[in-house]
Amino acid sequence: MPTERADALVVGGGIAGASVAHALARRGLGRVVALEASTPAAGATGRAAGIVSEQLWCRWDVEVVRESKAAYAELAARTAPEAYRVNGFARWTSDPQVADALRARVAELKSWGVDVREIAPGELERLLPAVRADGLVAIAYAPGDAVVAPTSLAEAYFAEGRRRGVEWSLASPVDAVVREGGRWAITARGRTTTAPVAVVAAGAWSKKVLAASGFPLPLAPYRTQAAVLRPEEKVGELAPSFDDLDTDVYARPEENGRILAGDGTGKVEVDPDGYVPTGDEAFVERLAESFVDRLPGWSEAGLVRAWAGVCVSTPDRRPLVGAVPGAPGLYVLTGFNGFGVMRAAGAAERLAALIVDGSDAARERLAEVDPGRFGGRLPAFGPRDGFTLQAGENPRF
Protein backbone atom coordinates (compact mmCIF):
# COMPACT_ATOMS: atom_id res chain seq x y z
CA MET A 1 0.00 0.00 0.00
CA PRO A 2 1.53 3.38 -0.99
CA THR A 3 2.41 5.80 1.80
CA GLU A 4 2.50 9.57 1.38
CA ARG A 5 3.84 12.25 3.70
CA ALA A 6 2.08 15.45 4.74
CA ASP A 7 2.57 18.13 7.36
CA ALA A 8 -0.92 17.88 8.86
CA LEU A 9 -3.94 15.60 8.63
CA VAL A 10 -7.49 16.77 9.34
CA VAL A 11 -10.39 14.36 9.87
CA GLY A 12 -13.81 15.88 9.16
CA GLY A 13 -15.37 18.09 6.50
CA GLY A 14 -17.99 19.96 8.48
CA ILE A 15 -17.57 23.60 9.41
CA ALA A 16 -15.06 22.72 12.15
CA GLY A 17 -12.86 20.53 9.94
CA ALA A 18 -13.09 22.84 6.95
CA SER A 19 -12.24 25.94 8.99
CA VAL A 20 -9.28 24.37 10.81
CA ALA A 21 -7.85 22.95 7.55
CA HIS A 22 -8.19 26.41 6.02
CA ALA A 23 -6.59 28.05 9.08
CA LEU A 24 -3.62 25.68 9.05
CA ALA A 25 -3.01 26.27 5.35
CA ARG A 26 -3.39 30.03 5.75
CA ARG A 27 -0.73 29.95 8.46
CA GLY A 28 1.63 28.22 6.06
CA LEU A 29 1.93 24.89 7.86
CA GLY A 30 2.78 23.03 4.65
CA ARG A 31 0.96 20.16 3.03
CA VAL A 32 -2.46 19.81 4.70
CA VAL A 33 -4.46 16.69 3.80
CA ALA A 34 -8.10 16.65 4.94
CA LEU A 35 -10.46 13.70 4.79
CA GLU A 36 -14.26 13.63 4.91
CA ALA A 37 -16.40 10.51 5.05
CA SER A 38 -19.00 11.93 2.67
CA THR A 39 -19.19 15.46 1.27
CA PRO A 40 -18.60 18.87 2.88
CA ALA A 41 -21.15 19.70 5.59
CA ALA A 42 -22.90 16.33 5.18
CA GLY A 43 -23.11 15.76 8.94
CA ALA A 44 -24.33 18.05 11.74
CA THR A 45 -23.23 21.22 9.92
CA GLY A 46 -25.77 20.69 7.16
CA ARG A 47 -28.53 20.20 9.72
CA ALA A 48 -27.63 23.06 12.08
CA ALA A 49 -29.90 25.98 12.94
CA GLY A 50 -27.24 28.57 12.17
CA ILE A 51 -27.98 30.94 15.07
CA VAL A 52 -24.83 32.79 16.13
CA SER A 53 -25.27 34.45 19.52
CA GLU A 54 -22.84 35.85 22.06
CA GLN A 55 -25.29 34.99 24.86
CA LEU A 56 -23.37 31.92 26.01
CA TRP A 57 -21.76 30.41 29.10
CA CYS A 58 -18.56 32.25 29.91
CA ARG A 59 -16.12 34.90 28.75
CA TRP A 60 -14.21 32.35 26.64
CA ASP A 61 -17.40 31.46 24.78
CA VAL A 62 -18.26 35.09 24.20
CA GLU A 63 -14.84 35.89 22.79
CA VAL A 64 -14.73 32.82 20.55
CA VAL A 65 -18.25 33.41 19.19
CA ARG A 66 -17.33 37.03 18.55
CA GLU A 67 -14.30 35.84 16.58
CA SER A 68 -16.47 33.40 14.66
CA LYS A 69 -19.02 36.11 13.84
CA ALA A 70 -16.31 38.37 12.46
CA ALA A 71 -14.83 35.53 10.40
CA TYR A 72 -18.23 34.50 8.99
CA ALA A 73 -19.17 38.08 8.13
CA GLU A 74 -15.90 38.56 6.24
CA LEU A 75 -16.09 35.19 4.50
CA ALA A 76 -19.73 35.67 3.48
CA ALA A 77 -19.07 39.16 2.16
CA ARG A 78 -16.48 37.69 -0.21
CA THR A 79 -18.17 34.46 -1.19
CA ALA A 80 -21.89 34.27 -0.34
CA PRO A 81 -23.47 37.47 1.04
CA GLU A 82 -26.76 35.71 1.73
CA ALA A 83 -24.99 33.32 4.15
CA TYR A 84 -24.68 35.89 6.95
CA ARG A 85 -27.13 38.46 8.25
CA VAL A 86 -27.51 40.33 11.52
CA ASN A 87 -31.05 39.98 12.87
CA GLY A 88 -30.73 40.03 16.67
CA PHE A 89 -31.58 37.38 19.25
CA ALA A 90 -34.11 37.47 22.11
CA ARG A 91 -34.63 35.31 25.18
CA TRP A 92 -37.74 35.54 27.29
CA THR A 93 -39.55 34.02 30.23
CA SER A 94 -42.74 34.38 32.24
CA ASP A 95 -41.21 32.61 35.27
CA PRO A 96 -40.02 35.09 37.98
CA GLN A 97 -37.27 32.76 39.18
CA VAL A 98 -35.91 32.28 35.68
CA ALA A 99 -36.26 36.02 35.12
CA ASP A 100 -33.91 36.72 38.04
CA ALA A 101 -31.33 34.37 36.56
CA LEU A 102 -31.75 35.89 33.11
CA ARG A 103 -31.21 39.41 34.44
CA ALA A 104 -28.09 38.28 36.28
CA ARG A 105 -26.77 36.78 33.06
CA VAL A 106 -27.48 39.98 31.15
CA ALA A 107 -25.42 41.93 33.68
CA GLU A 108 -22.55 39.47 33.41
CA LEU A 109 -22.68 39.40 29.61
CA LYS A 110 -22.54 43.21 29.56
CA SER A 111 -19.39 43.06 31.71
CA TRP A 112 -17.81 40.99 28.93
CA GLY A 113 -18.68 43.57 26.29
CA VAL A 114 -21.80 41.89 24.90
CA ASP A 115 -24.35 44.29 23.41
CA VAL A 116 -27.38 42.91 25.24
CA ARG A 117 -30.14 44.61 27.19
CA GLU A 118 -33.49 43.93 28.79
CA ILE A 119 -36.40 45.17 26.69
CA ALA A 120 -40.09 45.73 27.37
CA PRO A 121 -42.84 43.47 25.96
CA GLY A 122 -43.97 46.22 23.59
CA GLU A 123 -40.51 46.46 22.01
CA LEU A 124 -40.42 42.68 21.52
CA GLU A 125 -43.79 42.84 19.76
CA ARG A 126 -42.45 45.55 17.44
CA LEU A 127 -39.39 43.44 16.63
CA LEU A 128 -41.39 40.22 16.21
CA PRO A 129 -45.04 41.06 15.40
CA ALA A 130 -46.07 37.39 15.61
CA VAL A 131 -45.34 37.22 19.34
CA ARG A 132 -47.88 37.84 22.09
CA ALA A 133 -45.69 39.25 24.87
CA ASP A 134 -48.25 39.71 27.65
CA GLY A 135 -47.18 37.86 30.79
CA LEU A 136 -43.47 37.96 30.04
CA VAL A 137 -41.49 39.23 33.02
CA ALA A 138 -38.00 39.37 31.48
CA ILE A 139 -36.80 39.68 27.89
CA ALA A 140 -33.11 39.86 26.94
CA TYR A 141 -32.24 41.13 23.48
CA ALA A 142 -28.90 41.26 21.66
CA PRO A 143 -29.28 43.28 18.44
CA GLY A 144 -25.91 42.27 16.99
CA ASP A 145 -26.49 38.51 16.97
CA ALA A 146 -26.76 36.86 13.59
CA VAL A 147 -27.99 33.94 11.55
CA VAL A 148 -25.84 32.10 9.01
CA ALA A 149 -26.17 29.41 6.35
CA PRO A 150 -23.84 26.76 7.82
CA THR A 151 -23.55 24.67 4.65
CA SER A 152 -22.63 27.70 2.54
CA LEU A 153 -19.95 28.75 5.03
CA ALA A 154 -18.49 25.25 5.28
CA GLU A 155 -18.37 25.00 1.50
CA ALA A 156 -16.68 28.41 1.33
CA TYR A 157 -14.00 27.30 3.81
CA PHE A 158 -13.61 24.10 1.79
CA ALA A 159 -13.14 26.02 -1.47
CA GLU A 160 -10.82 28.64 0.00
CA GLY A 161 -8.79 25.96 1.74
CA ARG A 162 -8.32 24.21 -1.56
CA ARG A 163 -7.12 27.43 -3.12
CA ARG A 164 -4.56 27.68 -0.33
CA GLY A 165 -3.38 24.15 -1.00
CA VAL A 166 -5.50 21.94 1.26
CA GLU A 167 -5.83 18.53 -0.38
CA TRP A 168 -9.33 17.25 0.30
CA SER A 169 -10.18 13.57 0.02
CA LEU A 170 -13.98 13.14 -0.01
CA ALA A 171 -15.88 9.87 0.44
CA SER A 172 -12.95 8.83 2.66
CA PRO A 173 -14.19 7.47 6.00
CA VAL A 174 -11.50 7.32 8.69
CA ASP A 175 -11.66 4.58 11.30
CA ALA A 176 -8.61 5.56 13.34
CA VAL A 177 -5.49 7.68 13.50
CA VAL A 178 -2.49 5.41 14.15
CA ARG A 179 0.90 6.27 15.62
CA GLU A 180 3.70 5.03 13.37
CA GLY A 181 7.35 5.96 13.75
CA GLY A 182 6.71 9.22 15.52
CA ARG A 183 4.06 10.29 12.99
CA TRP A 184 0.29 9.92 12.69
CA ALA A 185 -1.03 7.71 9.93
CA ILE A 186 -4.46 7.57 8.33
CA THR A 187 -5.46 4.93 5.82
CA ALA A 188 -8.44 5.63 3.57
CA ARG A 189 -9.40 4.51 0.07
CA GLY A 190 -6.33 2.33 -0.23
CA ARG A 191 -3.88 5.11 0.59
CA THR A 192 -1.93 5.80 3.79
CA THR A 193 -0.85 9.33 4.60
CA THR A 194 1.39 10.22 7.56
CA ALA A 195 2.06 13.54 9.25
CA PRO A 196 3.52 14.82 12.53
CA VAL A 197 0.20 16.54 13.26
CA ALA A 198 -3.36 15.19 13.07
CA VAL A 199 -6.61 16.94 14.01
CA VAL A 200 -9.80 15.00 14.70
CA ALA A 201 -12.72 17.33 13.91
CA ALA A 202 -15.29 14.71 12.95
CA GLY A 203 -18.23 15.92 15.00
CA ALA A 204 -20.29 13.11 16.50
CA TRP A 205 -17.94 10.56 14.90
CA SER A 206 -14.95 11.93 16.85
CA LYS A 207 -15.73 9.65 19.78
CA LYS A 208 -15.40 6.52 17.60
CA VAL A 209 -12.26 7.72 15.84
CA LEU A 210 -10.50 8.65 19.07
CA ALA A 211 -11.49 5.42 20.83
CA ALA A 212 -10.29 3.31 17.89
CA SER A 213 -7.06 5.30 17.93
CA GLY A 214 -6.49 4.36 21.59
CA PHE A 215 -7.12 7.84 22.99
CA PRO A 216 -10.76 7.95 24.15
CA LEU A 217 -12.22 11.20 25.44
CA PRO A 218 -15.51 11.85 27.29
CA LEU A 219 -17.96 12.51 24.47
CA ALA A 220 -21.62 11.56 24.06
CA PRO A 221 -23.34 11.95 20.66
CA TYR A 222 -27.02 12.87 20.88
CA ARG A 223 -29.90 13.38 18.48
CA THR A 224 -31.51 16.77 18.00
CA GLN A 225 -34.44 17.80 15.79
CA ALA A 226 -35.48 20.85 13.81
CA ALA A 227 -38.14 21.79 11.29
CA VAL A 228 -38.84 24.45 8.71
CA LEU A 229 -42.38 25.79 9.00
CA ARG A 230 -44.45 28.08 6.80
CA PRO A 231 -46.61 30.47 8.85
CA GLU A 232 -49.64 31.93 7.12
CA GLU A 233 -48.23 35.41 7.71
CA LYS A 234 -44.69 35.60 6.37
CA VAL A 235 -41.85 36.35 8.78
CA GLY A 236 -39.28 38.95 7.74
CA GLU A 237 -35.72 37.72 7.18
CA LEU A 238 -34.44 40.28 9.71
CA ALA A 239 -36.91 39.31 12.43
CA PRO A 240 -34.97 38.30 15.55
CA SER A 241 -34.23 34.72 16.40
CA PHE A 242 -35.44 33.71 19.85
CA ASP A 243 -35.22 31.21 22.66
CA ASP A 244 -38.40 30.73 24.68
CA LEU A 245 -37.08 29.70 28.10
CA ASP A 246 -40.54 28.59 29.21
CA THR A 247 -40.86 25.93 26.51
CA ASP A 248 -37.18 25.34 25.54
CA VAL A 249 -38.11 26.05 21.92
CA TYR A 250 -35.97 28.25 19.68
CA ALA A 251 -36.63 29.67 16.21
CA ARG A 252 -34.98 31.79 13.54
CA PRO A 253 -36.24 33.37 10.31
CA GLU A 254 -35.65 31.55 7.05
CA GLU A 255 -35.99 32.71 3.46
CA ASN A 256 -39.40 33.09 1.82
CA GLY A 257 -41.08 34.10 5.08
CA ARG A 258 -40.50 30.73 6.73
CA ILE A 259 -39.06 29.86 10.13
CA LEU A 260 -36.67 27.19 11.37
CA ALA A 261 -37.57 25.91 14.85
CA GLY A 262 -36.22 23.29 17.21
CA ASP A 263 -36.29 22.16 20.81
CA GLY A 264 -32.66 21.52 21.69
CA THR A 265 -31.09 18.34 22.94
CA GLY A 266 -31.98 14.67 23.03
CA LYS A 267 -31.24 13.27 26.47
CA VAL A 268 -29.79 9.89 25.49
CA GLU A 269 -26.60 8.96 23.68
CA VAL A 270 -27.03 7.68 20.12
CA ASP A 271 -24.88 5.99 17.49
CA PRO A 272 -24.18 8.54 14.73
CA ASP A 273 -24.16 5.67 12.25
CA GLY A 274 -27.57 4.38 13.30
CA TYR A 275 -29.83 7.25 14.31
CA VAL A 276 -33.16 8.16 12.69
CA PRO A 277 -32.49 11.19 10.42
CA THR A 278 -36.12 12.23 9.95
CA GLY A 279 -38.15 14.33 12.37
CA ASP A 280 -40.60 12.64 14.70
CA GLU A 281 -44.31 13.40 14.42
CA ALA A 282 -44.38 14.01 18.18
CA PHE A 283 -41.65 16.62 17.81
CA VAL A 284 -43.62 18.56 15.19
CA GLU A 285 -46.73 18.39 17.37
CA ARG A 286 -44.75 19.69 20.35
CA LEU A 287 -43.54 22.67 18.33
CA ALA A 288 -47.12 23.53 17.36
CA GLU A 289 -48.28 23.22 20.97
CA SER A 290 -45.44 25.44 22.20
CA PHE A 291 -46.61 28.24 19.89
CA VAL A 292 -50.29 28.24 20.93
CA ASP A 293 -50.03 30.84 23.69
CA ARG A 294 -46.95 32.85 22.77
CA LEU A 295 -47.01 32.77 18.94
CA PRO A 296 -50.59 31.77 18.11
CA GLY A 297 -50.27 32.57 14.42
CA TRP A 298 -47.58 29.90 14.12
CA SER A 299 -49.46 27.04 15.76
CA GLU A 300 -51.13 26.13 12.45
CA ALA A 301 -48.04 26.76 10.30
CA GLY A 302 -47.53 24.37 7.42
CA LEU A 303 -44.69 21.88 7.74
CA VAL A 304 -42.10 22.21 4.97
CA ARG A 305 -39.71 19.57 6.31
CA ALA A 306 -38.46 18.13 9.58
CA TRP A 307 -35.18 16.36 10.24
CA ALA A 308 -32.78 15.16 12.91
CA GLY A 309 -29.03 15.49 13.26
CA VAL A 310 -26.40 14.34 15.72
CA CYS A 311 -24.39 16.69 17.93
CA VAL A 312 -21.90 15.70 20.61
CA SER A 313 -21.82 16.64 24.28
CA THR A 314 -19.18 16.71 27.03
CA PRO A 315 -19.54 16.36 30.82
CA ASP A 316 -19.25 20.11 31.47
CA ARG A 317 -20.89 21.35 28.21
CA ARG A 318 -17.65 22.97 27.06
CA PRO A 319 -15.94 21.76 23.89
CA LEU A 320 -12.72 19.81 23.60
CA VAL A 321 -10.21 21.91 21.67
CA GLY A 322 -6.49 21.27 21.88
CA ALA A 323 -3.91 18.54 22.37
CA VAL A 324 -5.09 15.01 23.16
CA PRO A 325 -3.43 13.88 26.42
CA GLY A 326 -0.63 11.35 25.95
CA ALA A 327 -0.64 11.69 22.16
CA PRO A 328 2.03 14.15 20.96
CA GLY A 329 0.89 15.86 17.76
CA LEU A 330 -2.72 14.67 17.99
CA TYR A 331 -5.36 17.37 18.43
CA VAL A 332 -9.14 17.47 18.70
CA LEU A 333 -11.81 20.02 17.79
CA THR A 334 -15.21 18.69 18.85
CA GLY A 335 -17.73 18.42 21.69
CA PHE A 336 -19.60 21.64 20.92
CA ASN A 337 -22.84 20.56 22.63
CA GLY A 338 -24.97 21.80 19.74
CA PHE A 339 -23.14 25.14 19.40
CA GLY A 340 -20.56 24.08 16.83
CA VAL A 341 -21.43 26.64 14.18
CA MET A 342 -21.29 29.44 16.75
CA ARG A 343 -17.81 28.50 17.88
CA ALA A 344 -16.18 26.70 14.95
CA ALA A 345 -14.27 29.46 13.16
CA GLY A 346 -12.96 31.13 16.31
CA ALA A 347 -11.99 27.84 17.94
CA ALA A 348 -10.34 26.62 14.71
CA GLU A 349 -8.20 29.76 14.48
CA ARG A 350 -7.10 29.37 18.09
CA LEU A 351 -6.27 25.70 17.53
CA ALA A 352 -4.31 26.47 14.35
CA ALA A 353 -2.31 29.07 16.28
CA LEU A 354 -1.49 26.48 18.94
CA ILE A 355 -0.41 23.90 16.35
CA VAL A 356 1.70 26.25 14.24
CA ASP A 357 3.08 28.61 16.90
CA GLY A 358 2.97 26.41 20.00
CA SER A 359 3.37 29.47 22.22
CA ASP A 360 2.28 29.77 25.82
CA ALA A 361 -0.10 32.53 24.74
CA ALA A 362 -1.73 30.25 22.18
CA ARG A 363 -2.04 27.50 24.78
CA GLU A 364 -3.58 29.89 27.29
CA ARG A 365 -6.27 30.91 24.80
CA LEU A 366 -7.50 27.29 24.83
CA ALA A 367 -6.92 26.54 28.52
CA GLU A 368 -10.64 26.51 29.40
CA VAL A 369 -11.39 23.85 26.78
CA ASP A 370 -8.24 21.74 27.16
CA PRO A 371 -9.13 18.10 26.35
CA GLY A 372 -6.97 17.00 29.31
CA ARG A 373 -9.09 18.80 31.92
CA PHE A 374 -10.79 15.57 33.00
CA GLY A 375 -7.46 14.04 34.07
CA GLY A 376 -7.74 10.98 31.87
CA ARG A 377 -11.09 9.99 33.38
CA LEU A 378 -14.07 8.96 31.29
CA PRO A 379 -16.95 9.95 33.57
CA ALA A 380 -20.39 8.56 32.89
CA PHE A 381 -22.71 11.35 31.79
CA GLY A 382 -25.61 12.07 29.50
CA PRO A 383 -26.46 14.99 27.21
CA ARG A 384 -28.06 17.93 28.99
CA ASP A 385 -31.13 19.53 27.51
CA GLY A 386 -31.92 23.12 26.73
CA PHE A 387 -30.55 26.12 24.86
CA THR A 388 -28.92 27.31 28.07
CA LEU A 389 -27.00 30.41 29.05
CA GLN A 390 -24.60 28.58 31.34
CA ALA A 391 -24.21 25.35 33.27
CA GLY A 392 -25.37 26.15 36.78
CA GLU A 393 -27.88 25.47 39.50
CA ASN A 394 -30.87 26.60 37.51
CA PRO A 395 -31.58 23.73 35.08
CA ARG A 396 -32.39 26.19 32.30
CA PHE A 397 -29.06 27.95 32.76
Q: What would the pLDDT profile of 18-55 be if each residue is shown by its tens digit?
A: 999 999 999 999 999 999 999 999 999 999 999 999 99
Cα 115 from Cα 62, distance rounded (Å)? 11
Res 265: pLDDT: 76
Cα 299 from Cα 287, distance rounded (Å)? 8
Residue 321 φ/ψ, nearest 5 degrees: -135, 115
Helix, strand, or coil (residue 259): strand
Instruction: Give exposure, 282-317, as e/b (b: 16+ Cβ within 10 Å).
Output: ebbebbbebbeebbeebbebeeeebbbbbbbbbbbb
| 243 Rama sector, left if φ>0, alpha if ψ -120 to 50, beta otherwise | beta
Cα 302 from Cα 129, distance rounded (Å)? 19
Cα 77 from Cα 265, distance rounded (Å)? 32
Question: Which DSSP category does 232 fall into?
Answer: S
Topology annotation, domain 3-46+150-219+316-374: FAD/NAD(P)-binding domain (3.50.50)
Res 14: pLDDT: 97
Cα 371 from Cα 331, distance rounded (Å)? 9
Helix, strand, or coil (residue 247): coil
* Alpha-carbon torsion angle 357, 361, 367, 369, nearest 10: -50
Residue 136 φ/ψ, nearest 5 degrees: -75, 135
- Do 225 and 280 form a contact (C-beta atoms < 8 A)? yes
Q: At what angle do helices 150-163 and 15-26 cross, to 10 degrees?
A: 30
58 burial type by CB count under 10 A (0-12 exposed, 13-18 middle, 19+ buried): middle
Tens digit of pLDDT at every position of the chain (397 positions): 678 999 999 999 999 999 999 999 999 999 999 999 999 999 999 999 999 999 988 899 999 999 999 999 999 999 999 999 999 999 999 999 999 999 999 999 999 999 999 999 999 999 999 999 999 999 999 999 999 999 999 999 999 999 999 999 999 999 999 999 999 999 999 899 999 999 999 999 999 999 999 999 999 999 999 999 999 999 999 999 999 999 999 999 999 999 999 987 788 999 999 999 999 999 999 999 999 999 999 999 999 999 999 999 999 889 999 999 999 999 999 999 999 999 999 999 999 999 999 999 999 999 999 999 999 889 888 887 555 544 344 444 3
Beta-bridge mates of residue 93: 138
Strand order, beta sheet including 191-195: 3-5, 191-195, 183-188, 178-180
Provide the residue ranges of all domains of the chain, joining segments of one domain with +: 3-46+150-219+316-374
- Do 321 and 365 form a contact (C-beta atoms < 8 A)? no
Contacts with 19 (C-beta within 8 Å, 6 or more apart), sequence order: 71, 154, 157, 344, 345, 348, 349
Res 325: pLDDT: 97
Q: What would the pLDDT profile of 172-192 be if each residue is shown by its tens digit?
A: 999 999 999 999 999 999 899
Cα 94 from Cα 138, distance rounded (Å)? 7
Helix or strand (DSSP H, E) at 105:
helix 96-111
